[in-house]
Amino acid sequence: MSSTTKALELLAHFSALKPEIGLSEMCRLAKRDKATTYRHLMALEAAGFVEQNHKTKGYRLGPALLQLGRLREQTVPRETGAAAPMSALSELSGETVHVTVLSSSTIFALLSQESPKHSTRAVIDIATFPLHATASGICALAFGPDDLFAIACEDLAPFTPTTPTTADGLRILVEDARSRGIARSNGQFETDIHSLSSPIFDQDGAFAGAVSVASVATRFTASLEQIITEGLIQASRDITRNWGGIIPQDIETAWSKAIASCKEMEQTS
């Protein structure tokens, strides 16, 4: 991994809940020594990607990212294309909906919307999503580049007692996602949250990201799963179309089987 890549990876640690990070904390988050982390921060600061708050000595995202963000949305309008389908799915399901994008081997948060239907709901407060523990990550492993699985297996950190910590355990979740066209995380990242995730494809026909619904586990019934599954599929189609892509036929076939399975479960519950 190049020094440039390692420096840019530091940007992923910033979030709305953690807009400013000191050097010592960044060392801990990045799992790097102080000298290396400082050198990478200096490189990012020189490029305008981060800036230092001279009062607190902490680092925050820099102004250069504003220009890049605006240019990205103008040329590849991902947020615009995802907003309406995401909002419709949140209203339909009554749960929290979020859209993620894949960049290299990292799943980044793009948009999220909480439903006002329930006072207790899932909150999306992370900027990047673990490949092995979240529905978005498992979706990427199932439908994204082949080398992602090996990358995911390099860090199978346990978030809950049900987080897969072996390659075989993770492979089971990935194969289930491929068979259904829908990935799931039943408490693998947060014990009280069940999530379903459906793939989004770009104009090149490649996996570009995922749309997901995160539900409080106590509300996750067979009936709600059917509603979410059907809503996710429609949202995936809509966002994929808005991003200039086409849903592969094998995904459409898997979705048909997933809907049939949900209806069968709902009838027998």
Write the DSSP string, 73-131: HHHS-HHHHHHHHHHHHHHHHSSEEEEEEEETTEEEEEEEE--TT-SS------SEE-T
CATH number for 76-268: choose from 3.30.450.40, 3.40.710.10, 3.40.50.2000, 3.40.30.10. 3.30.450.40
Residues in the chain: 269
- Cα 6 from chain centroid? 21
Q: Where are the domains of the chain?
A: 3-67, 76-268
Architecture of the CATH domain 3-67: Orthogonal Bundle (1.10)
C-alpha dihedral over 126, 129, 130, 135, to 10 degrees?
Answer: 120
3-state helix, strand, coil in the chain (%, to 5): 50, 20, 35
Between 6 and 269, the higher pLDDT residue: 6
- What would the two tokens of residue 173 be? 């979740």
For residue 21, the model assigns a pLDDT of 96
Q: What phi and psi values does residue 236 have, to the nearest 5 degrees?
A: -60, -45
List CB contacts of 246: < 8 A, sequence separation 6 or more.
201, 205, 240
For residue 269, the model assigns a pLDDT of 59
pLDDT tens digits, one per residue of 144-180:
999 999 999 999 999 999 999 999 999 999 999 999 9
pLDDT tens digits, one per residue of 85-101:
999 999 999 999 999 99
Q: What phi and psi values does residue 103 have, to the nearest 5 degrees?
A: -130, 115
Label residue 268 by pLDDT band (50, 70, 90). Answer: low
pLDDT tens digits, one per residue of 30-48:
999 999 999 999 999 999 9
